[in-house]
Chains A and B, each alone.
Chain A
Amino acid sequence: MIVLRRARILLSLTAAILLLTACGGGASTQEAQPTATEVAPQAAEPVVLRVGMSGSPDSLNPGNAWLTEATDLFELVYSTLIDIDFDGNYIPDLAESWTVSDDGLIWTFNLAPDAKFSDGTPVTAEDVAFTLLAYRDWADFGYMSGYATYFADVQAADEHTVVVTLTEPIGNMESQVLFCYILPKHIWGAFAGDLEAAVAFTNDEMVGSGPFRLVEYAQGEFYRLEAVKDHYGRPPVIDQVIFQTYANQDALVQALRAGELDMITELPSTVVPSLRNDANITVASGTSRSLRDYIFNLSSPETCPVDEGGICSGHPALRDPVVRQAMAHAVDKAQIIDVAELGLAQPGLGLVPAALGDFYASELKDYAFDIPLANKMLDEAGYLDADSDGIRECPAGMDCAGRQLDIVMQIPSDIGAGPREAELLSSLWGQIGIKMTPQVLEADTVTANCCPAFDYDMLMWGWGSDPDPSFILSILTSDEIPTGMSESCYSNPEYDRLYAAQTVEMDDAKRVEMVHDMQQMMLSDLPYIIPYYQMEVQAFRNDRFTGWPVPAEGSNSILYLQDPGSLTVVHPVQ
C-alpha cells in the first residue's frame, strides 16, 4: 500500500512539524513577555506594556487621519500646548503657563524650556508658531483646520514665548489648541503653503515631542513605542508600549485572559460578567462623552433646505411638541439601558453629556416614565384612535388630519444592539398608540437619508462630544441645516443667539449659564430624545501593571486607559 504509506509518512511528518513548533516556541514566548519582577535598573530586559485594540491608525500623518486609533497615537507621540485631565480640567503640556489679555484677543503661552523633539532638536516658539499658522493655512489638513479658524496671527515673541492673536475673543480657546499637535518646523516647514505635499507626506518617523516615540510600525498590525525618559513634562515609568490590532474581539479578550496582553481598549459588553470572575483581570468602567440619540424629523415645507436636496418627508405629527413630549414620557430609560447596554450606561438628558462637568445641566428635570400621563397628553391634544385599532390618528385641522401615527425609525447597521433597542421602543410607544417600525439600514444609507435630505421620520444614532460643548451644541443651530450637520432641522432663533453668544463669552460662569439655558431649550423643544450616555468599558490585567487611572465609583471622570495620562504613570506590580 505504497500510496497509503506515503500518505501516512506525510501525515506523521506534518504532525511532527506541528508538534515541534508548538513546543519549540515555548522559549521565545517567555522572552517576549518579560515578567513583572525584572524591574531592577541593571536588568537588560525593557519593561514592555502590551495593549490590544480593535482597529488601527489609518495614517501617521495628522493631515489625513480620521480614526480614533490614529488620534490615540498622536496623543502619545506629539505634544500640544494644553492638555486635559480625566476630570475635564485643562492642564499644562508644552505650555507651562498661559495668560489672556482682558479683551480676550491675545493669548500668551510660556513654553517648557527643556522640551525636545524625538530627534534631539529643541522645541521652540518658532515650531509652535509655524504649526498653528500651518493648520490655519492648510485649508483641509485633517481635523486640524477646524481648530485654527480663529487664529489671526501667531508670533514667537522669544524662544520660549508664543503670542496668539485671535480674530475675535472666544470662550473656549483651550479646547482649540487641545488637539493642535505641535509639528517640528525643520521637517514640516518644507510643506508650508503646499497642502497636497503636506497631506501626502507619510511621516514615517513621527518626529514629535510627546512622552513616547515611534520605533516600529506595521500598518494594520501593530505599532511599538519607546518611552522618552528625559521628557520635559511626564517621562513614562515603563520602557516600551506595543499597540496590537486584533481583527476579532473574541481574540482580543482571549489574549487578555491568556496573558498576551496587559490591557485592552474595548470589549463587548456580553463578556463583562465572565471577565469580572477572573481574579487577574480588572474590568474598569467610567464615563465617556458618547451618547445615543433618537432624532425627530422637524423639517416642514417652510424650513426644508430644498436647494441642498431637501426631501423633508417626515411624519407631520412629529412636528407637534406635545407628541414628542408624550413619546418622551413613554421612554423607559432604565429598561433600555439594561437591554441595550447591559446596564453599562447612565440615563441621558440632552446633547451635552454628563462627562462635560459644569457644562452639564444636572439641575434639569427629565421627562418621567409615565405611560398614563403620555396617553392623557395625546388624548387632550386630540390624537384619538377613532377606529380602535390601537393606533392614534391626527386630529382634524392638521395637515395630516386622519392619518395614523405610524412612523419608521431608521437605524444604522453598525449599532449592534440597535434592533433590540428599537424593538423595546416599539412596544413602549405602542402602549401610547403610536406605531413605530424599526428599519435597519447601511450606515451610509442613513447618512444619505438624514441630512440635508431629511427623508425619514425618526433616526437612532449617536454622537461623541468634545471636552468643550461648542461642537455638540452647534448641530442644533439653523446655520447647520443646509450643511447637513443638523440632523433634525431644528431651528430656534433664541437658541442660535445663545450659541453665538457663548462662543465669544469669556466669563466661565456666564458661559456655563448660557449652555445650561440651551439645554433647557433642548429639553422643552425635544428635537432629540437622549436615552443614555454610554460608559467606556476597558479591562486590564492587575497582576502585571498597576497605577491605572480608574475613575472612582459614581464620579464623572473619564475612563481612557490609552491616554498619555495613563500610560505615563502605570508601573509594574512589585
Chain B
Amino acid sequence: MARRDYLLKRVAWSLLTILFVLVLNFFLFRVLPGDPTTSIAKDPRLTAETRASLARRFGLDKPLILNLQGGNPFDSQFFAYFDRLAHGDLGTSFNFNRPVSELLGERIGNTVLLVMGGQLLAIVLGMSLGLLAAWKNRTPLDTGAITFSLTAWSLPTFWLGILLLIIGSTYLGLPTAGKETVGVEFDSFWAQAVDVGRHLLLPTLTFTIVLLGEYMLVMRSSVLEILSEDYILTAKAKGLSHLQILRHHALQNAMLPIVTLIALNLGFTVAGAIQVETVFSWPGVGSLIFEAVRRQDYPVLQGAFLVIAVSVVAANLAADLIYGLLDPRIKAP
C-alpha cells in the first residue's frame, strides 16, 4: 500500500505545517511594540480603569507564554489561544467586538465570488492564449501575446484597479464601491444578480488581467517544450492532424505544471485579493485584513491568516496528490 502510506505521510506533514503556522501566527503579531489598548488609550478622556478593563477584556493582562505567578501555569495568552482554537473560537475582534469566525464567515462568500470568477477567467483566457501563442510560435501573434502577458503580470494591482475604476465609472457608468447598490429594493433575484454583476465587473477584470499573464506564459512555455518532444514528431509523422496532436498529446502533458500552479494559486484564494478589494471597497476577507492591519486588530489577523494558511497547505496537498494521479510516471515512493 505504497500509495496509502504516501497519502498518510503527506497528510501528517501538512498537519505539522499547520501546527507550526499556528504557533508562528500567535507570536508574529505580538512581536511589535504596542497593542490596541495603547492606541485606544491615547485619548485622555479614558480613565485608567477603562484602559485596565480593556486590557482585561481582551486577555492582554495575562503573561504571554507561561504564567509563573502561582496558580495555573497554563493561564497565559498562548495557551488561551490554543484552548479557544480547539473550540473553534477564533477570538473576538478588538475593533468590531464580534467573533472573528462570524466576521470571516460573512465575508468569505464575497471573496470567493470575486476571486473564483477572476481565477476561472484568468485560467481559461491564459491557457487559451498560451496555447495559441505556442502554436503560433515566432509569429507576431506570439510576440504580441508575450508582451501583453508580461505587461499584465507586472502591472501593480492597485494602480490597475484605480485606473479601471476611473475609466469604468466615467465612461461606462459602472459603480465605484461595494457589492450592491445601497437603499434599493430589488424586484427579483435576477435584478439583484445583475446589480451584483455590475459591481463585480471591474474588480474581476482587474484580478483577471493581473493573473492572466502568469498562466499564459507558463502554459506557453509548457506547450512549447512538449511540442519539441520526439513523440510529437512521431505523431506528426504518423499523419495525425494538428488538432489531434494538440488535444491528445500536447494538451494533457502541458496541463501538468498548470494544474500545480492553479492548485497553489487557489490556495491563496481566501487571502482575498487584498488590493483589489480595497480599491473597489468590495466587502470581502481582503478588505477585512487591510482594515485589521491598519487598526492592529490581532484576533482578526490571526483568524484570517489561519484560514489562509490552512487553505494553502490543503491546496499544496491537493496539488501533490492530483499531480501524482495525473502523471503515471510518478510512483508513490
Seen from chain A, the residues whose Cβ lies within 8 Å of a Cβ on chain B are 1-4, 7-8, 10-11, 14, 17-18, 20-22, 24-26, 28-29, 31-32, 48, 50, 52, 58-59, 61, 64, 66, 139-140, 143, 145-147, 195, 199-200, 216, 218-222, 224, 240, 242, 244-248, 250-251, 254-255, 257-258, 260, 442-445, 447-448, 471, 474-475, 480, 483-485
Contacts and interface: CB of A to CB of B under 8 A. Distances in A.
Contact of A258 (B41, B43, B170, B246): B170
Contacts of B162: 248, 250-251
Contacts of A254: 165-166, 169-170, 176
A14 B121 contact: yes
Given A3-B246, A251-B162, A220 B291 contact: yes
A240 B169 contact: no
B2 interface: no
Contacts of B172: 22
Interface of B is mostly: helix
Interface string B165-185: 110011011111111011110
A220 B283 contact: yes
A250 B169 CA distance: 12
Contacts of A140: 46-47, 49-50, 53-54
Contacts of A26: 173
A199 B56 CA distance: 14
Contacts of B247: 2-3
Contact of A29 (B95, B181, B246, B291): B181
A471 B44 contact: yes
Contact of A242 (B44, B97, B182, B195): B182
Nearest to B176: A255
A66 B40 contact: yes
B176 A258 contact: yes
B86 interface: no
Contacts of B98: 219
B102 to A, nearest CB: 10
B146 interface: no
Contacts of B127: 7
6 smallest CB-CB distances across A and B, nearest first, come from A444-B34, A140-B50, A7-B128, A21-B197, A146-B45, A25-B198
B316 interface: no
A355 to B, nearest CB: 18
A58 B175 CA distance: 25
Interface residues of B, number: 70
B42 interface: yes
A197 B50 CA distance: 15
Contacts, number: 196
B259 interface: no
A125 B96 CA distance: 32
B50 A145 contact: yes
Contacts of A195: 53
B174 A22 contact: yes
B95 A58 contact: yes
Contacts of B34: 442-445, 447-448
Given A66-B40, A218-B283, A219-B96, A224 B183 contact: yes
A448 B33 contact: yes
B281 interface: yes
B39 A447 contact: yes
Interface stretch (B6-14, B260-268, B272-280): B272-280
Contacts of B81: none
Contacts of A7: 124-125, 127-128, 131
Contacts of B235: none
25 contacts: A3-B128, A3-B251, A8-B128, A10-B124, A18-B201, A26-B173, A28-B191, A58-B95, A61-B97, A66-B40, A66-B43, A140-B47, A143-B45, A145-B47, A219-B98, A247-B281, A247-B287, A254-B165, A442-B33, A444-B34, A444-B296, A445-B32, A448-B33, A448-B34, A471-B44
A199 B194 CA distance: 40
Contact of B44 (A199, A216, A444, A474): A474
Given A247-B279, A251-B280, A445-B33, A25 B44 contact: no
Contacts of B50: 139-140, 145
B38 interface: yes
Given A139-B53, A251-B165, A11 B198 contact: no
A31 to B, nearest CB: 6
B1 interface: no
B47 A139 contact: yes
Contacts of B41: 484
B330 interface: no
Contacts of A61: 97
B198 A21 contact: yes
Contacts of B121: 14
A58 B124 CA distance: 40
Contacts of A443: 34, 39
Contact of A59 (B97, B165, B251): B97
B48 A483 contact: yes
A32 B197 CA distance: 16
Given A32-B182, A140-B54, A143-B45, 19 more contacts: A3-B247, A11-B125, A14-B124, A25-B197, A25-B198, A29-B173, A32-B183, A66-B43, A139-B49, A140-B47, A145-B50, A195-B53, A218-B283, A240-B183, A254-B165, A254-B166, A254-B169, A445-B32, A484-B41
A251 B47 contact: no
A372 B169 CA distance: 54
A247 B277 contact: yes
A224 B182 contact: yes
B307 interface: no
A443 B291 CA distance: 15
Contacts of B128: 3-4, 7-8, 10-11
Most buried by B among A1, A31, A251, A475: A251
Contacts of B279: 247-248, 250-251
B125 A24 contact: no
Contacts of B176: 246, 251, 254-255, 258, 260
B242 interface: yes
A219 B297 CA distance: 15
Contacts of A31: 184
B243 interface: yes
A255 B168 CA distance: 11
A1 B278 contact: no
B86 to A, nearest CB: 23
Contacts of A64: 97
B288 interface: yes
B116 interface: no
A21 B33 contact: no
B132 interface: yes
Nearest to A196: B57
A247 B194 contact: no
Contacts of B191: 28
Contacts of B177: 52, 244-247, 251, 255, 260
Contacts of A52: 177
